[in-house]
Amino acid sequence: MSTEKYIELEHQYVANIYHPLDVVIERAEGVWMYDVEGKRYLDCLSAYSAVSQGHCHPRIVDALVDQAQQITLTSRAFRNDQLGPFSKELCELLGYDMVLPLNSGAEAVEAAIKLARKWGYEVKGVPNDQAEIIVCGGNFHGRTTTIISFSSEPKYRKHFGPFTPGFKFVPFGDMDALVDAVTPNTVAFLVEPIQGENGINMPPDGYLKFAETLCRRERMLLITDEIQVGLGRTGKLLASQHDNVRADIVVLGKALSGGFYPVSAIVADKPIMGLFHPGDHGSTFGGNPLGAAVARAALRVLVDEKLVENSAVQGRRLIERLRRMESPYIHEVRGRGLLIGVEVTAEADGARRFCEALAERGVLCKETHGTVIRFAPPLVITSEQIDWLAEQVETVFDQIEAQDQIEHEEEMASTAV
């Protein structure tokens, strides 16, 4: 079928909750994706950082196929031979005691909220149903009803109420506001080390360390949402490690399975995770043998192929190239590792048209928050591919600037006449 026919089918049968670029991907390998017309694209989104190990990595493919031929699902009513080894390997890699295996990132955030509240009531002694969790304005932690209850984005909330209480907003990066928000009933501070969906927003230097110190002083838990920024994306295994921060609860997802299967988790030490008992939480697919086997392979690829280190090196290379660009349409280039945002100016008329122009040149990226182009290629990307990517970005900015100048001059000439 043609690209148009596939798009027509989606318009007819699929709920309209996304605004994708009009390319139809058929297959992928490494950093490259191919559409149904045979055109090749450099993937600069990595399925929102889920495909960090590269598309269809052969080691993860083998693990998936081998396990699928053995057993895929037992539910947690019975044990399986993959869950224990997966949990051990993840704990040893990150330096925590225990894992709660789940499926989606939003599900993992929900579990972290439940665990923090339970800790607040049973350990800190907060009065029942009075627990408060501090969150940041501009956050993105998922789209469940509870999670959108503490979103500051109106379009995520409109017509989805009533909302879950128990959350208090502070501006991202504002240390004074964080201090002022703490009360005796505060049980946790939930934060993204870098706000991805809100435009690759970086906190001020020292912010996360300050938050960790405050949490220790005030007897509250620090929960870091590393779903998008963790597992090598920023050039460290966890983004919080850039600030030498060790959160009480870490939320993981996306790259945990290399893009092969929905796998998420929260990790914490036993005094916290040990508060969960049978019946407190559950998931039919959470910790299933297929997902666990895939995640084990995905983690081995990250470590064995030194993808965390490559993310740091190639990220520096890309951000330096982008910052050397001279364009009146670039407001700021920011990021860490292979999570980089190029924020365009108001005169640029939005980021989407740059993404569409890049797609024409074989680069697939996506705008976020309207004015930011996000670059997050798979962590297997090479220096040569980084340089080619930077050339395409430079060309697109030059072309759009030149075209806009021509249109402006023509408009002025017609007005003068």
Of 280, 304, 328, the residue that ends a domain is 304
Q: What is the largest CA-CA distance in the chain?
A: 81
Catalytic residue selected from 150, 167, 210, 225: 225
* Residue 8, Ramachandran bin (φ over 0: left; ψ between -120 and 50: alpha; else beta): alpha
Q: Could you give the CA distance from residue 193 to residue 91 in angstroms, rounded to a whole number?
A: 20
CATH number for 351: 3.90.1150.10
Of 278, 304, 330, the residue that ends a domain is 304
User: Within this chain, do residues 123 and 214 fall inside the same structural domain, yes or no?
Assistant: yes
Is the CB of residue 225 less than 8 Å from the CB of residue 109? yes
Q: What is the DSSP letter of 239?
A: G
Burial per residue of 183-212, b for 16 or more beta-carbon CB atoms within 10 angstroms, e otherwise: eebbbbbbbbbbbbbbbbbbbeeebbebbb
User: Within this chain, do residues 247 and 312 fall inside the same structural domain, yes or no?
Assistant: no
User: Within this chain, do residues 284 and 366 fall inside the same structural domain, yes or no?
Assistant: no
Is 254 one of the annotated active-site residues of the chain? yes
417 residues of the chain, pLDDT tens digit each: 999 999 999 999 999 999 999 999 999 999 999 999 999 999 999 999 999 999 999 999 999 999 999 999 999 999 999 999 999 999 999 999 999 999 999 999 999 999 999 999 999 999 999 999 999 999 999 999 999 999 999 999 999 999 999 999 999 999 999 999 999 999 999 999 999 999 999 999 999 999 999 999 999 999 999 999 999 999 999 999 999 999 999 999 999 999 999 999 999 999 999 999 999 999 999 999 999 999 999 999 999 999 999 999 999 999 999 999 999 999 999 999 999 999 999 999 999 999 999 999 999 999 998 999 999 999 999 999 999 999 999 999 999 999 988 877 777 777 765
User: Within this chain, do residues 36 and 90 fall inside the same structural domain, yes or no?
Assistant: no
Which of 370, 375, 21, 334 has the alpha carbon at shortest distance from 198? Answer: 370
CATH number for 188: 3.40.640.10
Per DSSP, what are the bridge partners of residue 169?
135
Could you give the 3-state DSSP secondary structure of residue 195?
strand
User: Within this chain, do residues 228 and 349 fall inside the same structural domain, yes or no?
Assistant: no
User: Within this chain, do residues 248 and 300 fall inside the same structural domain, yes or no?
Assistant: yes
* Residue 322, Ramachandran bin (φ over 0: left; ψ between -120 and 50: alpha; else beta): alpha
Q: Could you give the CA distance from residue 346 to residue 45 in angstroms, rounded to a whole number?
A: 23
User: Within this chain, do residues 268 and 402 fall inside the same structural domain, yes or no?
Assistant: no
Is 140 one of the annotated active-site residues of the chain? yes
Specify the pTM. 0.96
Q: Could you give the CA distance from residue 19 to residue 17 in angstroms, rounded to a whole number?
A: 7
Of 256, 278, 304, the residue that ends a domain is 304
User: Within this chain, do residues 224 and 95 fall inside the same structural domain, yes or no?
Assistant: yes
User: Within this chain, do residues 146 and 293 fall inside the same structural domain, yes or no?
Assistant: yes
User: Within this chain, do residues 386 and 328 fall inside the same structural domain, yes or no?
Assistant: yes
Q: How many domains does the chain have?
A: 2
Is the CB of residue 34 less than 8 Å from the CB of residue 28? yes
Is 209 one of the annotated active-site residues of the chain? no
Catalytic residue selected from 35, 43, 140, 243: 140
Catalytic residue selected from 118, 124, 236, 254: 254
Residue 35: give the domain boundaries.
3-55+306-416
Q: What is the DSSP letter of 242?
A: G
Is the CB of residue 173 less than 8 Å from the CB of residue 207? yes
User: Within this chain, do residues 211 and 279 fall inside the same structural domain, yes or no?
Assistant: yes
